[in-house]
Amino acid sequence: MLRVSDLYIYPVKSLGGFSLPAATLTDRGFQYDRRWMLIDENNRFLSQREVPAMALLQVTLEEEHLLITNKKTADLIKIPYEPSTSETVLVTVWDDNCTGLRVSDEADAWFTRQLAMPCRLVYMPDSTQRTVDKAYAHNEEITSFSDGYPLLIIGQASLDDLNSRLASPLPMNRFRPNIVFTGGLPFQEDDMKQFSIGDIQFFGVKPCARCVITTIDQESGIKAKEPLKTLSTYRAKNQKIYFGQNLLFNGSGTIRVGDTITLP
């Protein structure tokens, strides 16, 4: 039997995420997931690919705001759920251009100090409708500031298989999933083209190609060679390395740790 074992969100794209006992689906993925994003002077998104120190900025949810803390210095900032400005910015996420709202001068200054580079924080309002790749969409689905899809699923057995091949095991946070499940075979998610959790239907639409973020220790911000070095020996195809499955969904509601995953 397949069961949900962990649920994760990452409110600010490429900053530290965290697990939740339950997560509510919105029109573009889990509530709060990647609704905020840091951009550079050209309004292009920033990520750990270029700025590994972003891993050191840990986000948590509090009643009236996001709390973001630098793991090394303990510097912190509170980000209200509603931006304090109405200034729109046309931002770039990979090949997509979409509208974000500047959050505040205070946020821009804080992140600029933490990362030692000019950057600004933006929020995706409900009015921004960023669609997923039409080649994989079922019904013009939208996503937040994610790389391309609203959800990512990984089986715990897949990580266990990888860790059995590594000299030092790695935690699941290297792969930044939204849903983790137990009870399956290694890489069973590759073939999960359709499944349900409660009344919500999910569709596996595209294996997730992995990048150098998987090689960054999320506690220290230090980059190494694993797991891409090992994954390349058995999870490579068409010059890309795959781990996890991108998901679309149909329905709404709340998913909880312990929920059963039902296959057709």
Report pLDDT digits (tens) over 68-104.
999 999 999 999 999 989 999 999 999 999 999 999 9
Mean pLDDT of 28-32: 98
Mean pLDDT of the chain: 97
- Residue range 210-216: mean pLDDT, rounded: 98
136 token code pair? 């994989």
d(CA 44, CA 81): 22
- Confidence (pLDDT) at 36: 98
Cis peptide before 227 (omega within 30 of 0): yes
* Residue 60 in this model has a pLDDT that exceeds 90: yes
Question: What integer pLDDT is reported at residue 30 of this predicted model?
Answer: 98
Q: What H or E segment, with its residue span, contains residue 159?
A: helix 156-163
In this prediction, residue 145 carries a pLDDT of 98
pLDDT score of 84: 87
DSSP bridge pairs for 196: 201, 262
Run of H or E including 231: helix 228-231
pLDDT at site 215:
98
Q: How large is the average pLDDT for residues 220-248? A: 97
**Which pLDDT does position 34 carry in this prediction?**
98
Q: Which domain holds residue 250?
A: 2-261
Q: What is the pLDDT of residue 93?
A: 98
Percent of the chain exceeding pLDDT 70 equals: 100
CB atoms within 10 A of CB 97: 11
How many domains does the chain fold into? 1
CA distance 150 to 129: 12
**What pLDDT sits at residue 159?**
98
pLDDT exceeds 90 at position 194? yes
Arithmetic mean of pLDDT, 110-131 = 98
What pTM, to 2 d.p., does this model score? Answer: 0.97
